[in-house]
Structure 1
Amino acid sequence: MSLKQRHIEILNLVFQNDKIMDIKYISEYFQVSERSIRYDIKEINEEFINNKNTNIIEMEEGKLVSNINKEELTSLIKNILPQKYIFTSEERIEILLLEILLFREKFTLQALSDELLISKATLRKDIKDMNEKIKEFNVKIDINNNQGYMLTGEESSIRQLMINILHKYGGFIEEIEKEDINNLQIVKLLIFEKKKKYFQNERINLYKSILLKIQQKTKKIITDEAYDALLLNMIITSIRNRNSHFITDDISNSNFIKGTEEYKIIKEIFQNEDIDYREKDLIIFTDFYMGSYSYNTKFSFYLNWMKIETLVGRILEDAAKVFDINFKNDQILIKELINHMKPAIYRIKNKMSLKVSILEDVKSEYADLYEKTRVSLGVINEFLDENIDEDEIAFITIMFKRAINRNQEKLMGEEKRNILLVCGLGYSSSQFLAENINERFEVNIVDIIPFNQLENFEYIKSVDLVISTIDIEMEGMEVVKVNPILQKEDIEKLEEYALTRKSSKIPISKILKVIKENKHIENEAFIIENIKKQLKEYVKNDVETEKTSNFLELLDERNTALNIDLKNWEEVIEYSGKLLLDSGYIVSEYIEEMKEQIRNFGDYVVMGSNTILPHGKLNESVKKTGFSFVSLKNPISFFGSKIKIAICLASVAKHEHINAILELNNYFRDPEFEKELLKINTRKELENFLINRRNR
């Protein structure tokens, strides 16, 4: 025989009434017969008789009377867990999920089945149910190369899921034994034991002291709910980092957060206390902290700040009623609102203004749209306990304007996102990016610009999405950072914004249209231009003579160096640049320009997995267009990547290197290209390798 939850609830009811309770009342409470309750009491006593030589509950004159105290009951229940208790499916899933999150990111069905006394068939079903439960966090329990199962997902998502589960069961509870027995639950006790084990080696008092110092220095007061979430974040971050589970994914609003006074204070306190937090850890902690005092306390901090999607969902529900349009599937609008909302709330609570105001223009051009947006944002006023700033409403109005346009295009069958590409300088990695996006997605690339032109780009209102190779943020506009080669994770990221994947086949209707329009034209060159214009990236131009040099032609033998021993990225740029300098391609200032671009924009020059393509500006520092090629004896660390190859570009004009850049782009799409490149030991081997690649 095993215990059921009703057995525990009966014991709780007895203790609620000073250890005496009418059997009739209990039967009515559970809506079962008194005979069933008497049978339950018999089962309870049979279960506990093995641990105590007397019955723990007696039946006297229609009443239940307990023979033990609260502390004894708690101890007895803990001692029989989990072997004796019959868990419901939901309870079992909760406990299994916490077990996997805290202790078993990799496991086999057999091992878990043997330990928890659950059949493998039941475990498989539980895993399926767990995945349904956690999919909103973009986390999954998946097959691990036929070696069992493992937890997969971005590290920041896994941590948020952990906080969510722990928060659900009381967060950081120090002494559950001191809680009233009336709240006693088997699952709660078992989860407490798991939490205690997970937290046992952590410096809890130090973390509490740090939270106190942060509140004192920022002069802010936070709620108990927020305090618990922040403490959980600190503990989980410490443990995950210690186990080498680091956050590598992009963090929303990171530049904004790093510019706040709170971030500077938190960073200083953590450094003084010698807490080993990485920059992204500090950004996320600061984000949580800023939210802890930015809202009306009748709202849940967890649901409406840590899970800002909840608040955005409520905005979209209200907007659907006001605009009579369903926005719930517009991923671009959703992500724009999610990324805009936290900085907006922070600015409003701290009486800060937006750097640029578009209020006057928006009210003039879109008065009705502005008013509908203002009404849709009413929930924000409740959340803040004050009115949202008009400038913020204006920016969000433009987001809704673009969303309405997308909705109309979709209804007319003309759905095509307007994309703006932004790169460091706008002439090398941007070419990679433009070709790869055009090849994979049905989009309209409005323009390709360098970062320094972004602020004054006059057609920004017509843009749905900015895609960039560098880390930037914009007010009122969603920006997606990608690798120019568009690796698998980049493509998946863009698909989240509902960009339509392009078919590899040319529609017959398009071909017929070209034939009809050109059937009476004899000028071949004119026909080719019409085909290029109408079929665009659907066709490959293999009939026109190339007008620019290929990569190998621009790679002077003097600018090639293989298996070089260098220590860091600065040395790589110095060495690669000196090859170009000594061979007369550049002047010395160009080397510093390349370094400055990397300092400003970070990893935007990363191509593929292990290669960088550094370059400076198109100016007088370049004498002749060409590349240098350096392979490294040992990989170097470069903004989170391990770099083994550096291909430096110096160009007098865009048209002189465009063909070589597109050629490299095709090579880097093959994940084996870099591996094969690293096996090369001589210039002759490199030439043969590139020629063979080109002729494939």
Structure 2
Amino acid sequence: MKSRILKILEFLVERKGESSFKEISEYLKVNERTVRYDIEKLNEILKSKNIETIENIGKGKLKIQTYEKILFFLEKESLEEISGEIREIVILSKILFLGEINIANLMEDFDLSRSSVKLILKNLKVILEAYNLYLELNPRKGLILTGNEESIRRLQLKILNEYSHGPVNKTLGKEYIYGYIKEYHKNIDGDVIDKYIKIILKNLDKIISDEAYIILKNYIFIMVDRITRNYIIKNTKNNENFYNNTREYYYLKENRKILENYFKIKINTHELIKLTDYFLGSNSYSLTNDFYKNWIEIEILVKEIIKNFGEYTSPVIENDEHLIDGLVNHIKPAIYRIKNRIEFPNSIYEEFYESYENIYIFTKKSLKPMEKYLNMEISNDEIAYIGLHFKGALDRINFNKKEVKNILIICGSGYGTSKLLAQQIKEYYNVNILGTIPYNQFENYKNKNIDLIITTLPEGNLKTSIPVVTIGVILNHKTIGILDKYNLPKYNKKISLTELLEVIEKSTEIKNKKNLLKDIEELFGNILLKDFENKVYNLSDFLDKEGIYLNLEGMSWEESVRTAGEILLKRGSIKKEYISEMINKINIFGPYMVTDDKLALPHSKNDNTVKKTDMVLLTFKENIIFPENTPVKTILAFSSVDGIEHLNALSQFMDLINNYRFLEKIKSGLDSKKIIDLIKKFEFLTKLGKES
């Protein structure tokens, strides 16, 4: 049976046995003639199994009276009759989870000829080799799987993520395959793994998306299974000092006895580091992590991506704090997913592309720097999820928005997706959104006064007396029509914050704009369109000649950072505690603040220790040795009041280094005045280039 026919069956069952030729052709992106042909073939198969066929009830409409039998058929019939593609996935799973395969056994299990089995294995070898895994002949066992342990687990995880149970990714094909895969882990108690994960998340005060939760649970399934079979990670390429000093590592280590005692295994340091890596890579619903490895490249990368998108749409987008913050927190785990080849279980690509083709195209073009940084192509789904952030930003610029029911949003696709869905709903309806949560947090909201639950999960997943409406992550005319049936009050046109400020400034002098903005937002609430443009600061706004100290010598790395901090303190930019915080961050996380150009960028977050955003530049005659024997000759230390105000200036500084040989020019003997002149010349030419 063709894979396309399987999709038709799934499509009909999901719609309780009713559809049309047109709907199916649009879903499969084929013409109606092809659909008619496929349904004829499908009816022949159903008839041979004494199952009611698909009936053409006129005007292109289709119906199956007892569609439940189709589900039974899909679950019970042989793989050969369902899909060759599914058969290959089951055989691949056998190879991955058992570690060996026997051609004779495959011939018997699947009623295949030797040549057919060899053809399947030839196809699967291509997949395995992409992960540097190989099938080698063993005279006693047949074909055995060889390769790096982390690579084996990565491909196992890909299969489990795609086909395991979860509220966001159930389809008939996946259910069918999972029936086979779960046999390999039938002796591993998932409730124990759930207990372990939830204790860690509670200790971290962290809420993660359902997709991230499934990934973590699946990886722990794999880890326990592999250790039980004596396949153990004995070394890692990761920065051990960085991981050992994270809160994630601490709590994973403190609670590992939960797994060790129940499953009778030992989890070594390298296994803990790999598990920590997955927890750090999980997409958080709540807390942000300011100290990811390669943080500086990521924050500058986000600025470049937003700048590129602004060139296709509106430059105003570059000043959107919500966009910057959202993308920084989205792209950190996205880079982790891409590098580790972790795919979204729940695809939105087709729906997003169909609804917002231009945004998708502009996003794809804007992400070229990220592809260059990763040296990897970004998948359609990752592009679509990032595109959602840009869609939200454009809505904030252009949207005319619409008083109050309590709404709970349950979304399995992640923090950014949930927040953007909430934003879209607020743009149309005057509602009080109690929270945007993953499915695994629903129990915590059952006692709340909820009028309506809006969810992206498939129908039937939520067992509650509260009205539930299922929609997609993209709010289009169809989903708005569905929500309108629940009589949600709509907004009148929103008030523009920019226009309101212009009216106020005509009649009075504003002495404290920050406090005024806060009061306005509290007064107008949801009916206020926050289109106010924040000032974008240049490098010369923070770094001046009094903040430049050249050719210093005779210092340890702690003394050099302390010297930079004392300059910031003298300039009235920080409190004294900030200096110790900078040094502590380096002690904890290692030389993650050092770039390949022997440049260190010491800083810390603002724990009520920053008075204003500022930067100071220090150079040294000889290398200063930072932790892990890392040489440094230049320090740019900075403070930031909000974690955003400094970004454009920092991006300009890195641009000067990477493209204009700035550090070499400093070494050539420039004094502080000439350095500032050089910076201002760069800023002028950059602005000129934008305006031309």
Query: TM-score, normalised on structure 1?
Result: 0.41
Query: TM-score, normalised on structure 2?
Result: 0.41
